[in-house]
Amino acid sequence: MKKWLITALSLAMLSALAAGCGGNSDNSGTPAAGTSGTDTDSKSGKKTELTFWGDWGGEGQKQFETMIDAFNKSQDKIHVKYVLQQDMITKFLTAATNGGAPDVLFWDRWRTSLYAPKNVLHPVDEYLTRDGVSKDDFYSESLTELSYNDKLYGLPLTVDARALFYNKKLLAEAGLQPPATWDELEAAAAKLTKWNGNKLEVAGFSMADLGLFNMYLQQAGGTMLTEDGKTNFNNEKGKQVLEFWDRLMNKDKVYKVGFELGLGEGQDAFVTGKVAMLYSGPWMLSTYNKYGKDLDYGIVPPPAGPNGDKGSVMGGFGLVIPEGSKHHDEAWEFIKWWTANKDNALLWAKTSLNLPGFKPSMEDPFFQNDPLWKPFLETLEFAKVRPQHPGYSVMETDALAPNLQLNQQNKLSIEDTLKKAQEQGDEMLKANEAVK
């Protein structure tokens, strides 16, 4: 996901959050003979018209159109047009039942387990086999997130994961190195925090995003769900996470609830030096570089937990083919051209400053010679996607998040927080285990 919300009231899983698999790098994406969606198009020599729906406007739309223009110029059989859609999923589901579905859809990958059972997406496994596109050229986690019941429903367009951003100047002034463990993170955050009476002037570490509980739980050696689809955080691992948060908030006082609220993009707390360290993703690089002219920052992989466990949550987008499209083959050619070709994936990366899903493109000097990309590439090697349970998003949003908020506000004990989140979460998982 490109931009995950970073407030105590919203979870990263809802948006985001920001960042394919490939065959031979010489795949031009030019449609093979006989792949036209209609006999009329193929016999008449007319180009097949494809509609690509997405919900990125502004700069994101320009980035999409850069890729679409390059594809349209690369061959003479298919013409793609981008259509910006607000409330895209609702419109897509309506179109899927009454006709008018697009040919390609920009897809937040976590939705796959929710919508693939509704038979509104077209599997692409046969295309991979036919064209020799190797799954090994993708991060396996990103493919997992695009799969349901052993069928693959698209290719990854972007991948992302949280890493630790730090203000080099503030750490240097405090004589600190970037932390690599929870203990080092706590000690550094405490030393970097500055209070003026009851006013927090510099937060040593941002605690705004409760949606990162999943990441911390991984670092504690835990998992969000059990293998049989129940919550798995009301235990010692979950307790370790909340005890760590409690020390940071109430003992070390490195952060204050609401500290970053109300600040505009140009007044970002990290850019202005009001936050010394925070977890964020590659989608923020362009913002920090644009607004942080005086900001000297570095990035390291997330610090390891008490027993050395590493953890981060992989997010990102994909491109999928709606079942209702009349041009499945041509849609696949467009998706393959964009996501499974080293040069095209690299063009996308340079255009959007996203990490592409196609791993061979990461070998380019554009990534390898830039120290800001390296920590994300390292983090992606161990980052995990969110559980592929149809009710997971509901559980995290409506059961876990509200209780975590109450805990952070000191209105609910650690024990009661985990117990209530478990009870409510298990009910929601059970109620949503069958997609309707």
Q: What is the pLDDT of residues 72-122, one digit of tens each?
A: 999 999 999 999 999 999 999 999 888 899 999 999 998 998 899 999 999
Token duo for residue 247: 């020390």
Could you give the strand order of the β-sheet that contains 314-315, starting from the edge strand earlier in sequence?
A: 314-315, 158-161, 355-356
DSSP secondary structure, 400-425, as one string: IHHHHHHHHTTSS-HHHHHHHHHHHH
pLDDT per residue, tens digit, the chain (436 aa), is 433 333 333 333 333 333 333 333 333 333 333 333 443 454 557 999 999 999 999 999 999 999 999 999 999 999 999 999 999 999 999 998 888 999 999 999 989 988 999 999 999 999 999 999 999 999 999 999 999 999 999 999 999 999 999 999 999 999 999 999 999 999 999 999 999 999 999 999 999 999 999 999 999 999 999 999 999 999 999 999 999 999 999 999 999 999 988 655 557 899 999 999 999 999 899 888 888 888 999 999 999 999 999 999 999 999 999 999 999 999 999 999 999 999 999 999 999 999 999 999 999 999 999 999 999 999 999 999 999 888 898 999 999 999 999 999 999 999 999 999 999 999 999 998 876 6
Please count the helices (runs of H) and the strands (runs of E) in the chain.
18, 15
DSSP secondary structure, 108-127, as one string: EGGGHHHHGGGT-B---HHH
Residues carrying CATH 3.40.190.10, the chain: 12-160+315-380, 162-313+388-431
Strand 104-108 versus strand 48-54 pairing type: parallel
Closest CA to 255 of 17, 421, 6: 6
pLDDT given at position 97: 84
Q: What is the pTM of this model?
A: 0.84
- Say if residues 179 and 185 touch (Cβ distance below 8 Å): yes
Residue 428: CB partners within 8 Å, gap ≥ 6?
391, 394, 395, 398, 399
Query: Which CATH superfamily hosts domain 162-313+388-431?
Result: Periplasmic binding protein-like II (3.40.190.10)
Q: Does domain 12-160+315-380 have CATH number 3.40.190.10?
A: yes
Read off the DSSP letter of residue 391: T
Q: What is the pLDDT of residues 341-370, one digit of tens each?
A: 999 999 999 999 999 999 999 999 999 999
Closest CA to 155 of 136, 138, 169, 174: 138
